[in-house]
Amino acid sequence: MRKFLIYAIPITSLIIFILIMQSGNILKKPFGDNDNFPQAINDLIEAVGKEYWDVADQKVESLTKAWKKVLNRVQFSSERDEINKINICIARIKGAIMAKDKTNALMELYEAFYHWEDLGS
Amino acid sequence: MNEGLVVVVRAIISFFTLLILTKFLGKEQISQLTFFDYILGITIGSIASEATVDLSSRAWPHFIGLVSWAGLAFLMQFITLKWRYAAKVIEGEPTIVIMNGKIMENVLRKMKFRISDILTLLRNQGIFDLNEVDYAILEPNGSLSVLKKAEYLPLTPKDMNIPVKPTGISTELVYDGVLIEENLRQMNKDKKWLLSQLKKYGINDISEAFLVTLNDAGSLYVDKYKDNIKKVKDIGDYKGPH
């Protein structure tokens, strides 16, 4: 039994470590209704494209909430720079929506989506 | 992002990965390490530390780097074990730097060693006069093995034809005031015998003894908790914290 544990404990530990480090792609997928980040981006693109600024204002809040939820899960397997870039994009999207600036809002939304795809991979 | 928490999780991953990998690589001691092994250790340690605190990149590439370096080190170990010629090329081989009392200058030059380095290594071995040295061999781990000239070798009982009994290795009978009965049985002694012996040292109870060892020749070493040394010698050259 002891000999088994001597091999089993390190192997199990290594497997757990690998799972933690590689969990980003799985954990960034939505588990509920409020943490679907790509869906929130798509909704925003649609709202901004049609210049429904009141809707966009609400959607950007749900995007922020979704991001905060996902961030707690992916922080152990992602790089800080990618996380910071998404944070900055969200801040700029908020500003662009407030200024009703369609061009900048769309630019930032697509950039946020690009960083999202890169996250944890 | 909770950076502190992420660093703690990454530290746990790096620490235990490093522990597992070093156990996997074997039991070589620091004194046995060659120069390359030493650099290898530093590099692997450096990757582990980066994996912990470098949050600008994911932990995964660092982990792969760590495992790759350890894997290559293992491969090198395997090659040097199986192929003696490769071992000589990779790990180096012992080199004679003093032969028949004469310094091999060309060898020293090739090894990038100065004579002052050799003199330092000799002094570390308690040799202050080069006349005492017959052979000196520089080992791959950087240490110097010295064979003194016959006239400077210490006198042994064999030289004097004095019969001696083998002392063997000593076994702990009492450790930190606790009797180790298993060792006592192994030495074919019992508690009664031990107590009678300890009485000679002024010990009435086993808990008064800090350490008791017995060697194969039957010689007992006893250390009590109360050392009865009135003035403790201080070897420090400057006042310290204790």
Q: Using CA atoms, how far apart are residues A116 and A119, in angstroms rounded to an integer? A: 5
Contacts of B58 in chain A (CB under 8 A): 21, 24, 77-79, 120
What is the ipTM, given to two decimal places? 0.83
Q: Which residues contact B136 (CB under 8 A, 6 or more apart)?
A: B96, B97, B98, B118, B122, B144, B145, B146, B147
Which band of pLDDT confidence, cut at 50, 70 and 90, is reported for residue A25?
A: confident
Q: Are B70 and B40 in contact (CB under 8 A)?
A: no
Interchain CB contact of A18 with B (< 8 Å): yes
The domain ranges of chain B are 2-88, 95-152, 171-224
A60: enclosing H helix or E strand: helix A53-74
Number of domain units in chain A: 1
CATH number at residue A35: 1.20.120
Query: Which one-letter DSSP state was computed for residue B240?
Result: -
**pLDDT computed for residue A1 by the predictor:** 77
Across the interface, do B55 and A80 touch by the CB < 8 Å criterion? yes
Within 10 angstroms of residue A8's Cβ, the number of other Cβ atoms is: 11
Determine phi and psi for B96, rounding to 5 degrees. Answer: -80, 120
Interchain CB contact of B4 with A (< 8 Å): no
Q: How much is the average pLDDT of A20-49?
A: 88
Interchain CB contact of B116 with A (< 8 Å): no
Has domain B95-152 been given CATH number 3.30.240.20?
Answer: yes
**pLDDT computed for residue B28 by the predictor:** 62
Q: Using CA atoms, how far apart are residues A76 and A80, in angstroms rounded to an integer? A: 10
Query: Which one-letter DSSP state was computed for residue A28?
Result: T
Contacts of A75 in chain B (CB under 8 A): 1-2, 5-6
Q: Using CA atoms, how far apart are residues B50 and A90, in angstroms rounded to an integer? A: 29
Interchain CB contact of A2 with B (< 8 Å): no
Q: What is the pTM of this model?
A: 0.69
pLDDT per position in chain B (242 positions), as tens? Answer: 778 899 999 999 999 999 998 888 876 655 567 777 888 889 999 999 999 998 888 889 999 999 999 999 889 888 988 888 888 888 788 899 999 999 999 999 988 888 898 999 999 999 999 999 999 999 888 889 999 999 999 898 888 899 887 878 899 999 998 999 999 898 888 889 999 999 998 888 989 999 999 988 888 899 988 877 777 777 777 777 76
Top-level CATH class of B171-224? alpha beta
pLDDT in tens, A50-102: 889 989 988 999 899 999 999 988 888 888 888 999 999 999 999 999 999 99
Contacts of A83 in chain B (CB under 8 A): 1
The answer to whether the Cα torsion of B65, B66, B68, B72 is positive or negative is: positive
**pLDDT computed for residue B31 by the predictor:** 59
Interchain CB contact of A80 with B (< 8 Å): yes
B145: enclosing H helix or E strand: strand B144-148
**pLDDT computed for residue B27 by the predictor:** 62
For residue A90, give its domain range. 2-118
Interface test with B, best of A7, A14, A86 (most B CBs within 10 A): A14
